Amino acid sequence: MPELPEVETVRRGLDPVMTGQIITHAAVNRPDLRWPFPPNMAQRLTGAQVTALRRRSKYILADLSSGESLLIHLGMSGRILISGAMQGDFYHDHPAPAKHDHVVLQMGNGARITFNDARRFGAMDLLDTALGDAHPLLAQIGPEPFGNTFNETYLTQRLKGRATPIKTALLDQHVVAGLGNIYVCEVLYRAGIHPAHPAGKLPAKSVAALVPIIRDVLAEAIEAGGSSLRDYRQADGELGYFQHRFRTYGRENEPCTTPNCTAKIQRIVQSGRSSFFCPHCQPAPKIRNKT
């Protein structure tokens, strides 16, 4: 599933061709994706101007002049593609309609925005912009990792007393928004923290180090256009490239990239997800047996 860097990359691709533009025609080609579309979705979108394009965690929010916001989640295989408009040095003609083009927005500048989702795990909804933070999908999400409220003091308080593994804690969207399996693996490697280390037992200096490392990893991934795994593409159809910088994720039995480290990357399964780590650079926590 696309994580924060992939979603932010898509948002940045959409912003120049959508913000300030009127949706001259909206086509909704099926009644649902993961959940049913809101009533009269095509009619509510048609004629509205996109006043802003935001991201909240792994969701894109298009604020409309109608007072509503279009909420978009890419799911496992959702793609948003742009045609009929310049994107930097590139231009893509409008393609022929495809089987899984479920929502198509024609913009006033001639651009076409197409949401294609073969597996239909994505989602769209319309919500009151003023009450957006109260939407069931957004209400319980933690702070954005680039925001001021995500800091050493906050993270220390949220991890305090938690026996859950640090990998699981950082994946919890109530703790911090947008982090997924790929980037948490990369963060913990750079921090030298074993993914099974109890979150509440981390030394204060280790917790403090996590905040800037999380921001660095995400910023680098956004700069690289995200990670192209499975079905993910940028809004211009191009691939992301951060997967070429992975130091642990997907590298089981490959050499650790830390200079002078002779260990190989290992994999364990935590809550049904693969965790990749270096056993030397990320030593296992010492668990005291009760007597």
Measure the CA–CA gap between 63 and 19, rounded to whole angstroms: 9
Contacts of residue 4, Cβ cutoff 8 Å, sequence gap at least 6: 55, 57, 58, 145, 177, 178, 179, 180, 183, 218
User: Has 58 been annotated as catalytic?
Assistant: yes
Q: Could you give the CA distance from residue 208 to residue 159 in angstroms, rounded to a whole number?
A: 11
Strand ranges (DSSP E) for 111-225? 112-117, 123-128
Catalytic residue among 252, 273, 279, 285: 273
Task: Kindly state the DSSP code that residue 240 receives in the 8-state scheme.
Answer: P
Q: Is 223 a catalytic residue?
A: no
Distance between CA atoms of residues 72 and 198, nearest Å: 34
Instruction: Choose the catalytic residue: 2, 5, 143, 165.
Output: 2
Residue 273: which H helix or E strand, with range? strand 273-277
Angstrom CA distances, 124 to 98, 106, 232, stand at: 19, 17, 18
The residue annotated as part of the active site, out of 11, 55, 56, 58, is 58
Cβ(131)–Cβ(125) below 8 Å:
no
123 phi/psi in degrees, rounded to 5 = -155, 150
Question: Does the annotation count 2 as an active-site position?
Answer: yes
**Active-site amino acid positions:** 2-3, 58, 273
